[in-house]
Structure 1
Amino acid sequence: MPSKINVDFYILDTNSGQKSLLFACRLLEKAYADQQSIYIHTTNKEEADRIDHFLWTYRDDSFLPHHLYQPGEVFPAPIQIGFTETPPSQTTLFNLTRGVPTFYQQFPRIIEIVFSDPSVQQLARERYRYYRDQGCEMTNYKIKANEL
């Protein structure tokens, strides 16, 4: 378990899931450029496949080396996408689910992306409280619509 877990909440001024996904890709590009290894946690296989496809097509001039997580893989990609309870050892967790993953403590950095939907925001508040109550270092970033 990392000594201190940093949780970054990005609160987006949009209710568009598509814009949220584009923003997540920009964050992934930055994290990858900083040589972070990333695990994108999704709810299920269908969502993992959708994210995998989106990362191949979201921008013509960009490449983020990624693939769906396969347990026991010898040479994993720097960005792995999965939905299991046994993720790889990566430095950054992009949590795209509605809850706190049971394995969150193995990551020194967690990224949560929240868009302007009341039900999404309520669940994000619950995750925020949970992380805070567990002693995580919390940071909020409010992203305006014109910054998306």
Structure 2
Amino acid sequence: MTEVLFYHLQDMLLENVLPPLLEKSLERGWRVVVQSTSEERADALDAHLWTYRDDSFLPHTTWRAADAQDQPIVLAVEEGNPNRANVRFLVDSAALPADSHVYDRVVLVFNGEDDSALRAARGAWTDCKSRGFEVTYWQADERGRWQRRE
């Protein structure tokens, strides 16, 4: 069964949150697609993942690369699973893909300070529940550690 995790960002930037989540995914041996809503945003995330920290390396590419199928992380703007990922991250209010059920995990990261992003996340929550997915809600505590909320 697909597990869907909702990560609620408050006073946090995606650029600070996404790399550690991707690192944890790779540590677990997962392949990942990160879907944003524009080529410009995907390109900005691509550049950021190369430089976000001096002592870290996240092997990744964009959907445009000829070897995307061989990469553990692919940044994309459309549906599709170019690297046979078992985890899909949705950022910037990217919609749930029609094939959400094929993933072990879908991680929806949304900006809780943006009303439209909040509405989109609530709609996705309802959609996921109606599909029978296991859904969980995560919010950072005052120290920035993710806590599961009920």
User: What is the aligned partner in structure 2 of residue 111 from structure 1?
Assistant: 107
User: What is the aligned partner in structure 1 of residue 22 from structure 2?
Assistant: 28
How many residues are treated as equivalent by the alignment? Answer: 142
User: What is the aligned partner in structure 1 of residue 86 from structure 2?
Assistant: 91
Structure 2: 5+ residue runs without aligned partners?
Answer: 146-150
Question: Quick one: percent identity of the two aligned structures?
Answer: 27
Residue 110 of structure 1 aligns to a residue in which SS?
Answer: strand
User: What is the aligned partner in structure 2 of residue 130 from structure 1?
Assistant: 127
Change (3 A) 1:71 1:136: farther
Q: In 2, Cα distance between the equivalents of 1:145 and 1:74?
A: 38
Q: In 2, Cα distance between the equivalents of 1:75 and 1:104?
A: 19
User: What TM-score, normalized to structure 2?
Assistant: 0.85
Cα drift, residue 123 of structure 1: 1.1
User: What TM-score, normalized to structure 1?
Assistant: 0.86
Q: Provide the aligned C-alpha RMSD in A.
A: 1.9
1:121 to 114, 118, 121: 118
Structure 1: 5+ residue runs without aligned partners?
Answer: none
Task: State whether residues 100 and 127 of structure 1, in contact with CA within 8 Å, keep that contact through their aligned partners in structure 2.
Answer: yes
User: What is the aligned partner in structure 2 of residue 52 from structure 1?
Assistant: 46
